[in-house]
């Protein structure tokens, strides 16, 4: 048993999503969105160094020494997997452990709307799941991959940093590649994937121009590309992709996105008020002819109006998703107010909460 295991198991015992293991501070766990100390004593630098040295392999240690930070995966057998970021800071060394369920949840288990399942029926183009860190993007994408793995016969390639959910082959062949272990970068892994006869490629993070450019091209080639961005909202997601390109290429990229994009799911997790836990609020944009026309013309400020008018096919703005959670009594009006885009919609509600 490694030193870190007792802290991780204590955190899991409290249904924590993350463990903060930082020298100079008590061990903390994020439970239902809040960060709580689970042990009173402050961690010493030596304790953190020894614990991390036990679980970092040679490649990770070299990356940490060179970059002062590293990402890797750690597993307690028959308990859970964890995504780990280790870093240097003012008081020494710290590490954040994100708990990953042993197997991907299904769309039904996540209570995803039917429109998300409909997106999973596409065989080409681009589907994006977005949101800030800790918003459940990876969990949603894993459920979508699981749905496709059950339904279709094809080749699914995932490119991640690090590998989170491990998918077993069901109806599909699954190839999972980890950045830093199986490929030096997302861009190089994506280039290689295009030569590996894929039907679906999952890009764990579209973080740079080269990766985004290859992903857009792959979607145009007839491959289904799924990816994540750290953006809040469908319009901001499209804007981020387009503005990652030089100005002289943006018109062409708008045209490519308008034809290849299938949908954007933007989500955030909020603490529930009816029982301990968190609820997902989802903004969903489907690339209808009206949406495609706005993207092609660069009228991204009008996308929210298009989403509001697309409720019949499952489109929904974030504010509408938040309002539904409030109406169902799952989330407090005060919490919804804090996360809303148009806060005036929730002002009267929060005052009577």
User: Is 148 within 8 Å of 200 (Cβ atoms)?
Assistant: yes
Q: What pLDDT is stored for residue 53 in this prediction?
A: 96
DSSP 9: H
Task: Evaluate if residue 249 carries a pLDDT over 90.
Answer: yes
**Residue 256 Cα distances to 80, 260, 292, 324, angstroms:** 40, 6, 10, 34
| Strand intervals (E) in the chain | 16-22, 26-31, 34-42, 69-76, 80-89, 92-100, 125-130, 155-160, 173-178, 200-203, 224-229, 261-271, 278-286
Cβ neighbourhood burial of 140 (10 Å; 0-12, 13-18, 19+):
buried
Split at pLDDT 50, 70, 90, the class of 212 is very high
Output the average pLDDT for the chain.
94
- pLDDT average, residue stretch 306-335: 95
Q: How far apart are CA 333 and CA 339, in angstroms?
A: 10
Task: Evaluate if residue 276 carries a pLDDT over 90.
Answer: no
Give the DSSP letter string of 155-173.
EEEEEESS--SPPPPSSSE
Model pLDDT for residues 32-74, shown as the tens digit of each residue? 888 999 988 999 999 999 999 999 999 899 999 999 999 999 9
Which helix (H) or strand (E) is 4 found in, with range?
helix 3-13
| pTM (2 d.p.) | 0.88
End-to-end CA distance of the chain: 47
User: Comparing C-alpha atoms, which of 297, 305, 238 is closest to residue 266?
Assistant: 238
Measured in degrees and rounded to the nearest 5, phi and psi for residue 52 equal: -75, -35
Which helix (H) or strand (E) is 15 found in, with range?
none
Tokens of 15: 């249904």
Split at pLDDT 50, 70, 90, the class of 318 is very high
Q: What pLDDT is stored for residue 77 in this prediction?
A: 87
Give the DSSP letter string of 197-211.
--SEEEES---SHHH
| Alpha-helical runs (H) found in 267-352 | 289-297, 303-308, 318-327, 333-339, 347-351
Q: What pLDDT is stored for residue 104 in this prediction?
A: 87
Tokens of 108: 């039904």
Model pLDDT for residues 1-17, shown as the tens digit of each residue? 899 999 999 999 999 99
Strand 16-22 relative to strand 26-31, pairing: antiparallel
**Residue 297 Cα distances to 156, 231, 300, 301, 314, angstroms:** 33, 21, 8, 11, 24
- pLDDT average, residue stretch 145-165: 94
Cβ neighbourhood burial of 114 (10 Å; 0-12, 13-18, 19+):
exposed
User: Comparing C-alpha atoms, which of 107, 105, 103 is closest to residue 121?
Assistant: 107
3-state secondary structure of 40: strand
Q: What pLDDT is stored for residue 119 in this prediction?
A: 97
């Amino acid at each position: 048993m490694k030193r870190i295991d007792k802290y991780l198991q204590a955190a899991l015992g409290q249904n924590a999503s993350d463990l903060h293991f930082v020298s100079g501070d008590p061990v903390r766990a994020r439970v239902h969105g809040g960060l709580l100390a689970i042990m009173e004593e402050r961690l010493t630098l030596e304790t953190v160094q020894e614990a991390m040295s036990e679980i970092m392999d040679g490649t990770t240690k070299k990356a940490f020494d060179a970059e002062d930070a590293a990402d890797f995966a750690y597993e307690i057998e028959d308990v859970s997997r964890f995504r780990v970021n280790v870093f240097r800071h003012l008081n020494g060394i710290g590490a954040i452990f994100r708990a990953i369920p042993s197997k991907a949840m299904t769309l039904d288990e996540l209570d995803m709307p039917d429109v998300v399942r409909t997106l999973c029926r596409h065989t080409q183009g681009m589907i994006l799941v977005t949101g800030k860190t800790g918003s459940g993007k990876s969990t949603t994408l894993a459920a979508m991959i699981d749905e496709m793995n059950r339904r279709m016969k094809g080749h699914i390639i995932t490119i991640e940093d690090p590998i989170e959910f491990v998918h077993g082959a069901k109806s599909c062949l699954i190839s999972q590649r980890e950045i830093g272990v199986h490929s030096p970068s997302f861009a190089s892994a994506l280039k290689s994937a295009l030569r590996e006869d894929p039907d679906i490629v999952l890009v764990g993070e579209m973080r740079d121009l080269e990766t985004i450019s290859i992903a857009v091209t792959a979607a145009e080639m007839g491959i289904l590309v799924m990816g994540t961005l750290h953006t809040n909202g469908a319009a901001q997601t499209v804007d981020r992709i387009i503005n990652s390109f030089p100005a002289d290429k943006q018109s062409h990229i708008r045209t490519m996105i308008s034809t290849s994009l299938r949908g954007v799911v933007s989500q955030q997790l909020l603490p529930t008020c009816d029982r301990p836990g968190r609820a997902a609020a989802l903004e969903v944009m489907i690339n209808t002819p009206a949406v495609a026309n706005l993207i092609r013309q660069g009228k991204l400020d009008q996308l929210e109006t298009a989403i509001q008018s697309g409720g019949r096919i499952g489109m929904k703005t974030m504010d509408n998703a938040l309002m539904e959670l409030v109406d169902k009594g799952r989330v407090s009006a005060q919490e919804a107010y804090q996360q809303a885009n148009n806060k005036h919609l929730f002002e009267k509600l929060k005052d009577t909460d």
